[in-house]
Structure 1
Amino acid sequence: MAHPKSRISKQRKRKRRTHKKATAPQIAICKNTGEAHLYHRAYWSEGSMFYKGKVVIQAAEEV
């Protein structure tokens, strides 16, 4: 098995890992519907799909 030539200290390892963290997703609020959604993503609101404030898929009409 391969072994490291020298042991990496806990401090050195933790310094390297300080930058690895999850960030909160950016959330936008639509001006037309007032719905909160992720940037650059289509989202459903009241049965219709919206993207950039425009209807992409219309809600099905119930008879």
Structure 2
Amino acid sequence: MAVPKRKTTPSKRGMRRAADALKKPTYVEDKDSGELRRPHHVDLKTGMYRGRQVLTVKADD
């Protein structure tokens, strides 16, 4: 059975556990439509990313 050679310090333990906290996702207001979207993501309703049309939007029937 594997046994640690040294005791883990509280500082190292805390640094490891710092990533365990859940953060709520951030949203930004879109400049064109005013809707909330994730930063650095394509707006799926308009297909725009950084002012360019990158996706073709399907028409809702």
Question: After TM superposition, is the score higher than 0.5?
Answer: yes
What TM-score do the two structures reach when normalised by structure 2? 0.55
- The structure whose residues are more often helix, as a share, is 2
How much does 1:25 deviate? 2.2
SS of structure 1 residue aligned to 2:54: strand
Structure ranking higher on relative contact order (CA contacts 8 Å, 6+ apart) = 1
SS at match of 1:57: coil
Q: Percent sequence identity over matched residues?
A: 24
Equivalent residue, structure 2, for 1:33: 33
The root-mean-square deviation of aligned C-alpha atoms, in Å, is: 3.0
Query: 2:52 aligned to 45, 50, 54, which one?
Result: 54
* Structure 2 unpaired stretches of 5+: none
Structure 1: runs of 5+ lacking an equivalent? none
Q: Which letter does structure 2 place at the counterpart of 1:54?
A: R
Give 1 or 2 for the bigger CA radius of gyration: 1
- Pick the structure with more strand per residue: 1
Equivalenced residue count is 56
